[in-house]
Structure 1
Amino acid sequence: MTELPAFYDDLAGCLAEAWRRLEEGAAHQSGFHAPALATIGRDGAPRLRTVVLRGVDRAARTLRIHCDARSDKAAEIAADPRVSLHAYDAAAKLQVRIEGRARLHGMDAAARAAWGASRPMSRVCYGTIPGPGTPLAEGGAYALPEDEAAVEAGFPEFRVVVLTAARLDFLYLARQGHRRALFTWDGEAETATWLAP
């Protein structure tokens, strides 16, 4: 029989494990590196896409991703900051769902710091012409920046998205019995409860 993890019957342990996995995901060390982010479309319908987790601040309950100012994602967050994030690591048998509010940062200190910490290959995307989602006559009918100056010229299109968690749903799958827990924050006050899986 598989040994159960220390967090199995420990609410605080479940929350700590969720944040640990998210931190590892931001460091490219777990299956949480590429979660799915849901926004609310301009027509009120949900919109879902895979994103790259770039940073996690457990104490502030924030997660950081990046996007292009010209993208639907940026426009949707600007119009309605309510978002959800879903991460699943099949090897760990763990799912984390987070709901909260997102804030866009562009052309500010947060954006400059994130831009400076980004790999050159990641910065190239923001200098691509035309912007994301633009219809093309054929698949390759877009231009990538050709030199470092052109890559830097993409910085005005770079956005940092900071999601502040208001609700975190944790699910661990185990043959002996799954464990599901819900954590919510009203301001700084935290509530935690077990849920039926």
Structure 2
Amino acid sequence: MTELPPFYDDLAGCLAEAWRRLEEGAAHQSGFHAPALATLGRDGAPRLRTVVLRGVDRERRTLRIHCDARSAKAAEIAADPRAALHAYDPKAKIQVRIEGTARLHGQDDVARAAWAASRPMSRICYGTAPGPGTPLPEGGAYTQPQDDAAVEAGFPEFRVVVLTAARLEFLYLARAGHRRASFTWDGAEPGATWLAP
């Protein structure tokens, strides 16, 4: 029988493992590097897309991703900040789901710091014309910045999304029996409970 991890029957351990995996994902070291972000569309329907996890702050319960100000994602968050994030690492057999409130940062200290820490190949996306989601007559009917000045000119379109967790759900799949836990931060005291898997 496979040895069970230390967090298996430990609620605090499950929460710590969730944040550890998310931190590793932001550092490109786990399957949590490219989670899915859900927002509410302007029509009220759910919208889901894969994003790149750029930063995690477990003390503040925040996760950071980047987007283009011209994207539907940015417009949806501006209209309704409720959002959810889903990450699954098949090797670890761990799923984390987070629900919370997203905040957009553009041309402020948060955005400037994230822009400065971004690689040039990541910055190129924000100078692309036309903006994300624009219908094209053919696949290549858009332009990308060709020099450093053009890449830097994309900064006004750059947005940082900071998602603050109000609820985190952890699921570990194991032959001995799955473990599922829920953590909430919607009152004076954080809540934690096991859930049936």
**TM-score between both structures, scaled by the size of structure 1:** 0.99
Q: 2: CA distance between counterparts of 1:190 and 1:168?
A: 11
| SS of match in other structure, 2:185 | strand
- Matched with 2:19 is 19
Q: 1: CA distance between counterparts of 2:115 and 2:162?
A: 14
Letter in 2 for 1:66: H
- Matched with 2:49 is 49
| 1:41-72 Cα shifts (integer Å, max 9, x gaps) | 00000000000000000000000000000000
Q: CA deviation at 1:113?
A: 0.2
Q: CA deviation at 1:193?
A: 0.1
- Matched with 1:3 is 3
| 1:70-119 Cα shifts (integer Å, max 9, x gaps) | 00000000000000000000000000000000000000000000000000
Unaligned runs of 5+ in 1: none
- Matched with 2:65 is 65
Q: 2: CA distance between counterparts of 1:186 and 1:140?
A: 46
Identity among equivalent positions (%) equals 85
Cα pair distance change 1:188/1:126, threshold 3 Å: farther
Letter in 1 for 2:120: P
- Matched with 2:118 is 118
Equivalent pairs counted in the alignment come to 197
| SS of match in other structure, 1:163 | strand
| SS of match in other structure, 1:9 | coil
| 1:11-61 Cα shifts (integer Å, max 9, x gaps) | 000000000000000000000000000000000000000000000000000
Cα pair distance change 1:66/1:176, threshold 3 Å: same
Unaligned runs of 5+ in 2: none
| SS of match in other structure, 2:12 | helix
- RMSD of aligned residue pairs (Cα, Å): 0.6
Q: 2: CA distance between counterparts of 1:63 and 1:126?
A: 21
Q: 2: CA distance between counterparts of 1:101 and 1:155?
A: 24
Q: 1: CA distance between counterparts of 2:76 and 2:187?
A: 24
Q: 1: CA distance between counterparts of 2:146 and 2:183?
A: 47
Q: 2: CA distance between counterparts of 1:83 and 1:137?
A: 32
- Matched with 1:165 is 165
Q: CA deviation at 1:187?
A: 4.9
